[in-house]
């Protein structure tokens, strides 16, 4: 259901040029009419506002019942940082965060992780941008498990593209939930974006193209 809060978030992504329309290719190699690039957030005001959106969702879902937040490099790093700040400022939930390096550091403190040092039994929530094929999460889980015997109960993302993953009849998010036991919580879905555009009287050609894309690649709720 397209709520006022979801409309507000979609408008925010559009205003920041994060949600874009045109001809794009996703990480999974699919040609798509829309693309979400959180790398386009570039001001303090944008990051502050984005953090509040994520923090509200994290607080609503968990109530603060977790031990740390992980932001996968690279785009997950500012997302987790902004979320951590907003959780404290808006909800009085003070939680540590960590992120990984793409290249393992061989000097100083060394290692592949920066920030909080994971401990056995920690419940870690992942803060990410978009799940298309689940590749980033599959890469992140071994990194976290290599640090300590942790559990990953939740993942929070900006947009659920609702796209089929590696298994016919299942979205990438369904696969993640079944394979790893991780519940994925999006701020909005592709259906929300489509309904928003439809309500704004968007170019019928774009709507038709999105309908075709969703019919071909998506499993809709």
177-187: pLDDT as tens digits: 998 999 999 99
In three-state secondary structure terms, 21 is strand
What is d(CA 141, CA 149) in angstroms, rounded to the nearest whole number? 11
Domains of the chain listed by start with CATH number: 4-104+112-199 (3.40.50.2020)
105 in active site: yes
Identified catalytic residue from 31, 42, 105, 117: 105
Token pair, residue 134, equals 């689940």
6-31: pLDDT as tens digits: 999 999 999 999 999 999 988 778 89
- At 135, is the pLDDT very low, low, confident or very high (cuts 50, 70, 90)? confident
Q: What is the pLDDT of residue 107?
A: 47
What is d(CA 178, CA 196) in angstroms, rounded to the nearest whole number? 30
Q: What is the pLDDT of residue 105?
A: 55
Tell me the average pLDDT of the chain: 92
Per-state percent for the chain, helix, strand, coil, to nearest 5: 45, 25, 30
185 in active site: no
Q: What is the pLDDT of residue 208?
A: 95
Identified catalytic residue from 107, 117, 154, 170: 107
What is d(CA 22, CA 207) in angstroms, rounded to the nearest whole number? 12
Size (the chain), residues: 221
69, β-bridge pairs: 97, 125
Q: What is the pLDDT of residue 108?
A: 45
């Amino acid at each position: 259901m397209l709520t006022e809060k979801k409309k507000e978030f979609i408008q925010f992504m559009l205003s920041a040029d994060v949600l874009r329309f045109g001809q794009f290719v996703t990480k999974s190699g699919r040609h798509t009419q829309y693309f979400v690039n959180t790398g386009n957030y570039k001001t303090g005001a944008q990051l502050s506002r984005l953090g509040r959106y994520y923090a509200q969702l994290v607080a609503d879902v968990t109530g603060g019942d977790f031990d740390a937040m992980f932001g996968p490099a690279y785009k997950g790093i500012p997302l987790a940082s902004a979320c951590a700040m907003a959780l404290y400022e808006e909800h009085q939930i003070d939680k540590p965060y960590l992120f990984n390096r793409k290249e393992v550091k061989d000097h100083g403190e060394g290692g592949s992780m920066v920030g909080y040092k994971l401990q056995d039994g920690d419940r870690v929530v992942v803060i990410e941008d978009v799940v298309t094929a689940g590749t980033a999460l599959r890469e992140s889980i071994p990194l976290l498990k290599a640090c300590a015997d942790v559990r990953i109960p939740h993942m929070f993302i900006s947009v659920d593209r609702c796209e089929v993953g590696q298994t016919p009849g299942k979205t990438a998010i369904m696969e993640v939930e079944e394979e790893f036991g991780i519940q994925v919580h999006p701020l909005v879905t592709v259906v929300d974006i489509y309904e928003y555009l439809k309500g704004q009287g968007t170019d019928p050609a774009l709507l038709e193209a999105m309908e075709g894309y969703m019919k071909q690649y998506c499993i809709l709720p």
